[in-house]
């Protein structure tokens, strides 16, 4: 009886789809989640050809981009930890409190496929661009870089940089099938107003070194805030002068690093970060005081060329959070620090508070615990591309 049922099930699974026209099968496949589509390439030769066709990728991307009810999927990634952990956006959106560290591992989305030699110090996530991640084995003395797509588990290793530098600010841009990695020292203490900048291009397969102008002699890059690619330029928070350092790798007439102003009424020197929400460049800070009320502030850059900032939110913690906090965190003066901006929702930010990772709605003043026993300062909001970005095979 059991054998008969198993054979009947196999017959139901092995259905002949020859009577289904290509256009109809394409319509069906493009409505599936992207992580399943790549698995379905193995179903048959016909399915492999349909899904691999560039027309299918364009059709799938167009449907995602024109859907008013669908936002591009994203994940909250932990950049520097002793374990590779990822919080799925579905868990964040449903406010599921993750109780154990292993719950951060998302099925089907892991960085365990990347090779690295030091298993006691796993891979570090440095930056993201167009659905790809730039990773490295170490935080200091970086030399082994990897570019990967965690969704389809594709990766390549880059050639080692020409010079060993203890601490570098790193940028990553992927566009039109090509990618670039930019790096330069995180600090400059010398008398010269120039610095050594190294660029790797997938078009040449080599690192290129250049001497570029530096806007200040004694800059210091804030490495715990992820680099932001916006308006064609890379942006890093600069700590010593409270500025933003920018670099446009494709501006042939005005090369070098440049300074951008932060909001005039900013207060925090340490607890701040840059980010992009729904296409808008934003600055997020928490006033860095251990006593008394602390402010949470968010600005949006209303005019990029004029460097004009507009204050969106200013919220005092005392008075707004007491009722919610009482439920799960004592009312002591806990250390509060900003972690990330929601890439699709203006009102939602992520904070470290009282040993917890929390989400906070700036509009409703509602705070929810995402994970307890959390002490990392390193998060990255990683947005997937509508269609997985494939990495060209290296020729070097």
pLDDT for 248 equals: 94
CA distance 361 to 345: 9
What is the β-pairing status of strands 280-286 and 295-303?
A: antiparallel
- The CATH architecture assigned to 110-261+382-395 reads Beta Barrel (2.40)
Backbone angles phi, psi at 28, to 5 degrees: -70, -45
pLDDT in tens, 173-220: 999 889 999 999 999 877 778 899 999 999 999 999 999 988 888 899
- The residue ranges of the chain whose pLDDT is under 50 are 9-11, 68-69, 82-85, 88-108, 117, 319-320, 322-331
pLDDT for 108 equals: 46
pLDDT for 375 equals: 64
Q: Cα 238 to the chain's mean position, in Å?
A: 20
> Concatenated DSSP letters for 75-141?
EEEE-S-SS--EEEHHHHHTTPPB-SGGGGPBTTB-STTS--S-TTS--EEEEEETTEEEEES-SSS
Q: What tokens appear for 170 in the block?
A: 């790193």
193-204 burial code (b ≥16 CB/10 A, e <16): eebebbbbebee
pLDDT for 73 equals: 75
Residue holding tokens 């690619």? 229
pLDDT in tens, 112-127: 788 864 555 668 889 9
Q: Are 177 and 392 in contact (CB under 8 A)?
A: yes
pLDDT for 268 equals: 84
pLDDT for 91 equals: 41
- DSSP bridge partners of 207: 200
Backbone angles phi, psi at 101, to 5 degrees: -60, -35
Q: Global pTM?
A: 0.81
Measure Cα distances from 111 to 136, 154, 171, 194, 232 in Å. 12, 10, 20, 37, 28
| CA nearest neighbour of 235 among 389, 344, 81, 127 | 127
């Amino acid at each position: 009886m059991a054998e008969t049922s198993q054979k009947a099930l196999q017959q139901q699974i092995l259905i002949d789809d020859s009577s289904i026209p290509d256009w109809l099968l394409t319509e069906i496949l493009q409505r599936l989640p992207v992580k399943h589509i790549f698995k379905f390439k193995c179903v048959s030769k016909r399915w492999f050809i349909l899904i691999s066709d560039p027309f299918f990728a364009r059709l799938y991307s167009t449907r995602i981009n024109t859907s008013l009810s669908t936002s591009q999927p994203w994940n909250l990634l932990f950049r520097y930890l002793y374990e590779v952990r990822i919080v799925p956006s579905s868990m964040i959106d449903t406010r599921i409190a993750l109780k154990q560290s292993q719950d951060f591992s998302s099925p089907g989305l892991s960085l365990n496929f990347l090779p690295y030699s030091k298993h006691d110090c796993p891979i570090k996530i440095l930056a993201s661009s167009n659905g790809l991640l730039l990773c490295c084995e170490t935080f200091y003395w970086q030399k082994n870089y990897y570019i990967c797509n965690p969704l389809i588990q594709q990766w390549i290793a880059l050639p080692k940089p020409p010079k060993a530098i203890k601490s570098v600010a790193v940028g990553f841009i992927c566009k039109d099938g090509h990618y670039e990695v930019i790096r330069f020292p995180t600090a400059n203490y010398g008398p010269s107003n120039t610095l050594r900048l190294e660029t790797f291009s997938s078009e040449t397969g080599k690192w290129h070194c250049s001497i570029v102008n530096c806007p200040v002699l004694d800059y210091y890059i804030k490495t715990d805030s992820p680099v932001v690619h916006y308006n064609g330029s890379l942006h890093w928070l600069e700590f010593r002068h409270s500025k933003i350092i920018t670099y446009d790798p494709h501006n042939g007439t005005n090369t070098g690093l440049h300074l951008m102003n932060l909001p005039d009424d900013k207060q925090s020197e340490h607890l701040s970060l840059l980010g992009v929400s729904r296409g808008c460049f934003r600055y997020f800070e928490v006033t860095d005081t251990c006593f008394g009320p602390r402010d949470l502030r968010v600005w949006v850059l209303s005019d990029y060329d004029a460097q004009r900032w507009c204050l969106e939110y200013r919220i005092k913690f005392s008075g707004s959070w007491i009722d919610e906090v009482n439920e799960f965190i004592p009312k002591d003066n806990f250390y509060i620090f900003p972690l990330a901006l929601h890439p699709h929702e203006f009102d939602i930010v992520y904070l470290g508070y009282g040993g917890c990772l929390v989400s906070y709605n700036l509009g409703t003043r509602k705070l929810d615990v995402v994970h307890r026993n959390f002490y990392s300062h390193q998060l990255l909001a990683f947005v997937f591309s509508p269609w997985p970005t494939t990495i060209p095979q290296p020729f070097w």
